[in-house]
């Protein structure tokens, strides 16, 4: 790999930006200053340092975020704060959210610069399961559970695939129900539209799982962290 690409990818720089410290003599390979931007780096054996600090090359980066409300799942937006805006302390180059959570939906969001993995997770033929917990206005009945299990016809005529709906708790005093729902699709506002089709309203919605990746409940809203090797392996294993 070219030295300027190594520095650019590792530090979230453009190739032009990466060439500056190399030409200024701030980059060494195996403790020897190298000013040639085309110098080939062996990722398995060479030690690259920038200003005396070893640079660890990582081609792909994987993060989970506990998305808060009032943030959009996009890489950029002229009007709204995005999930990328919340990732201030990491190399943001190429990062994108895999799938979208509505602005007022919270919970698990997976971000990466690995386009192939992102594509597989979103591919309809992979049927990657997404699990949500929600607070529903009204009392969800076993009849509704069975209706969801058979697939629902939305108000615009679309039909959803069967969904696994579980009743977690019913508060008759407040007339609301806590539920968990698992779906394998990603239609626009799907869960809200599914409940709308049975004349019910979603008050709160939180994603807790995507494929083999579960939300770290220790993450506060707006916080994020890198996936562990086990989490990444589990995520990949569930879609291959």
**Does residue 126 sit in helix, strand or coil?**
helix
User: Chain centroid to CA 92: how far?
Assistant: 13
Angstrom distance (rounded) from CA 209 to CA 223: 16
CA-based nearest residue to 217, from 74, 59, 135, 108: 108
CA atoms within 13 A on the CB side of 168: 11
Residue 230 burial (10 A CB sphere; 0-12, 13-18, 19+): exposed
CB 4, CB 19: distance < 8 Å: yes
CA-based nearest residue to 180, from 202, 153, 196: 202
User: Chain centroid to CA 84: how far?
Assistant: 11
| Residue 154: partners with Cβ closer than 8 Å, 6 or more residues away | 160, 187, 193, 194, 196, 197
CB 144, CB 124: distance < 8 Å: no
Q: Hey, which residues are catalytic here?
A: 102
CA atoms within 13 A on the CB side of 105: 22
């Amino acid at each position: 790999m070219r030295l300027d690409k190594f520095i650019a990818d590792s530090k979230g720089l453009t190739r032009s930006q990466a060439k500056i410290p190399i030409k200024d003599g701030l980059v060494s390979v195996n403790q020897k200053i190298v000013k040639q931007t085309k110098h080939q780096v062996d990722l398995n054996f060479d030690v690259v340092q920038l200003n005396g600090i070893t640079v660890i090359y990582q081609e792909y980066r994987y993060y989970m975020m506990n998305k808060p409300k009032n943030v959009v799942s996009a890489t950029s937006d002229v009007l709204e704060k995005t999930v990328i805006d919340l990732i201030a302390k990491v190399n943001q180059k190429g990062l994108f959210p895999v799938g979208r959570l509505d602005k007022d939906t919270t919970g698990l969001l997976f971000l990466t610069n690995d386009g192939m993995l992102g594509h597989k997770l979103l591919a309809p033929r992979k049927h990657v399961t997404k699990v949500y917990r929600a607070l529903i206005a009204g009392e969800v009945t076993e009849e509704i559970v069975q209706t969801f299990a058979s697939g629902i016809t939305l108000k615009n005529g679309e039909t959803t695939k069967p969904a696994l709906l579980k009743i977690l708790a019913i508060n008759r005093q407040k007339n609301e129900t806590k539920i968990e729902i698992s779906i394998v699709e990603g239609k626009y506002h799907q869960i809200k539209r599914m409940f709308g089709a049975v004349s019910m309203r979603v008050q709160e919605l939180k994603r807790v799982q995507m494929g083999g990746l579960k939300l770290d409940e220790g993450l506060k809203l707006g916080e994020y962290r890198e996936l562990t090797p086990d989490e990444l392996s589990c995520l990949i294993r569930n879609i291959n």
